[in-house]
Structure 1
């Protein structure tokens, strides 16, 4: 069965249909920001713990009243049994106080002053604290989001947290990018929750919508990585992102080679064709499995060999690429990319950057 390809023309038609169909949509998905998961007890567990504490206070109060039942008077029958003690403890701790059971002896009254009253306060603190915690959770979340927005600068926005997005983030973190400088955008709630569980700030919403990207603070980002499943979605996200931020570096992954020019025209700085790249790696692995293994090693940051870009050191300036400690494969001079055998790259300049292959750093403790 022939594989259906998404050409540039069909991609444009799909973009038009998506834009028309989404013009009137206004869902909560574009408004949700999920902060990294904090290691706190689950809400049900917190409520259960507080309920157990309240019951414990009620039980202690009931026991105290029952042990001193001779000092209490029940207006109905004149005596206080265990049920009456539980009833008195309940109405007293809840500050209801019907007055049908009252302490009459000095000992019972002293117990109410110094023991029952503090227990009543503790009981109310437990109940009110639980209520306030539930009511203020939303406020605390809003404060966290406001604080995050106020300090978010020069970060990386990753649209799509699938296989490509996860590996892109792993590489960024491996190269020293802090987790708090990475924001994930994805339309699926479970994916966003997974990103938050991994310690990342995540925005739930459609990346093709400007309000979603604005909530990810894309206007102040320096890098945008677009890893959507469809090429038409990637093109629309690229157009929206470039409209919001004119200076950010945008890297996009697409499936079809013929959509690369359209993505570049949409504002992408770099377009990676995932299917073609995988095909080339497969072909090279067939011809030479060792070559495929080395290339896979180079593409996997933190294992074996790594490809890194770094500035030229003072000691290396004025010398050739072969004189560097690392294996230099290319030289970046301004906006030019020079092969290490290029005559212009024979002498490194202080403002150059070099792309090198070096041994991956061994994690601490290994």
Structure 2
């Protein structure tokens, strides 16, 4: 993955991290520089240990360690002043079969590395600009822990392409996991306006906020709503008492994790099978799942109860939810969206879930 992990002074990455493997430019440059220094040191030691086979044509005072380092430097860089030369046949042979290939490797490391780093940096800028230009009506997921990953898997299972999903997380490991899952990602604080703008938050269709602290979720919701007044914002909070604050901050929908878990546990205590059905609906990939889809032309005019293979539990008409028992939902109309329960289609590539 093309990961730019080095953060700026605000703790964010300037460019998007795309799912394409590579190493960090600075670390790669340091690694190659150390390798080049190793080649130079090896050549210096080879000449110095065999210094009797070399002659100094200028000073004629023998070849010391500094002379060996000087000879290796001018030889490796192909400068070759000729003031120090190998005289013995074996020394010339060693230069031909050892030092000459090392000289080629040394030049490839220095020149090639410089060109590669510049080219990679340029290509990253180009990829970042291209990515930002095509981002429209996408989904931004802030927080890629267990909840964020499950939300992404559910969206992908319901037809949202991975190239339309962008992840923001403060952990480099989470960004790497998002890249491994085929998603573009930014590393940094989701409350930073600069980072949100880089993720094209103003053009997003949906924003999902799955943070592990309610205060951070509230602040992020406020910032996101200011940058995008029309997008749908789904926020996860831990405590029910924080739901009004999140709604006042601009959230479209709020999910209370602690309250939801408590209700599920209560239902399981009342009736194990009842709890199993609810958990089945909430668990992706197996058994039953809930889906919202557009009504097809051949379904217009039909009674939802007559559908085969799925059960209609709600109809969305003119942005209003009509439950299955509503008399106005007894016949499907053109433009309706159906909320159905159907058989699960399986997990997305067997993705694992990571605890936050």
Q: 2:144 aligns with which of 141, 161, 172?
A: 161
In the other structure, the counterpart of 2:328 is 344
> What is the rounded CA distance, in whole Å, between the counterparts of 1:221 and 1:257 in structure 2?
27
Partner of 1:321: 304
Equivalence for 1:21: none
In structure 1, the residue matched to 2:235 is: 252
Deviation for aligned residue 1:45: 7.6
> Gaps (5+ residues) in structure 1?
1-25, 64-69, 78-83
Task: Give the 3-state SS of the residue equivalent to 1:144 in structure 2.
Answer: helix
Distance 1:51 1:227, change over 3 A: closer
Pair 1:37–1:54, CA change in 2 (3 A): farther
Counterpart of 1:23 in structure 2 is none
Residue 130 (str. 1) matches residue 138 (str. 2): no
Q: Could you list the per-position Cα deviations for residues 25-61 of structure 1 after superposition, in whole angstroms to 9, with x for gaps in the alignment?
A: x94214544503523467768976898799899999x
Give the C-alpha shift of residue 251 in structure 1.
Answer: 0.8
Separation in structure 2 between the aligned mates of residue 131 and residue 194 of structure 1, nearest angstrom: 29
| Cα gap change, 1:365 to 1:158, in 2 (>3 Å) | closer
C-alpha separation between the residues in 2 aligned to 1:253 and 1:52?
Answer: 49
Aligned to 2:178: 195
Aligned partner (choices 316, 320, 331) of residue 315 of structure 2? 331
Indicate how the Cα distance of structure 1 residues 309 and 160 shifts in structure 2: closer, same or farther if over 3 A, else same: same
Decide whether aligned partners of structure 1 residues 92 and 329 sit closer, same or farther in structure 2, where only a CA change above 3 A counts. Answer: same
Superposed CA deviations along residues 188-240 of structure 1, whole A, max 9, x for unmatched, are 44433443444332223332332232122100100001112233322222222
1:319 Cα deviation from its structure 2 partner: 1.2
1:249-288 equivalent positions in 2, closer than 5 A: 249-288=232-271
1:223 aligns with 2:184: no
Whole-angstrom CA distance in 2 between matches of 1:153 and 1:124: 45
TM-aligned CA deviation for residue 142 of structure 1 = 2.7
Partners of 2:206 and 2:241 in 1: CA distance: 24
2:188 aligned with 1:205, yes or no? Answer: yes
- Preserved CA contact (<8 Å) 2:191 2:223: yes
For 2:266, what is the secondary structure of its paired residue?
Answer: helix
**What is the CA distance between 1:353 and its match in structure 2?**
1.2
**Cα distance change on mapping 1:150 and 1:97 into 2, 3 Å:** same
Do 1:36 and 1:198's aligned partners in 2 also have CA atoms closer than 8 Å?
A: no
Question: Using the alignment, how far apart are the partners of 1:49 and 1:346 within structure 2?
Answer: 71
Unaligned runs of 5+ in 2: 1-7, 47-52, 61-66, 351-356
- Match among 271, 289, 293 for residue 310 of structure 1: 293
Q: Is the 8 A contact 2:284 2:346 kept in 1?
A: no
2:4 aligned residue: none
Q: Which stretch of the first structure deviates more once superposed, 133-142 or 248-257? A: 133-142
2:38 maps to 1:28: no
RMSD of equivalent CA atoms: 4.3
**Are the counterparts in 2 of residues 54 and 126 from structure 1 also a CA contact under 8 Å?**
no
State the alpha-carbon separation in 2 of the partners of residues 327 and 184 from structure 1: 33
Aligned position for 1:183: 166
How many pairs align? Answer: 334
TM-score normalized by the length of structure 1: 0.73
Local SS of the residue matching 1:315: helix
| Greater CA drift, 43-52 or 339-348 | 43-52
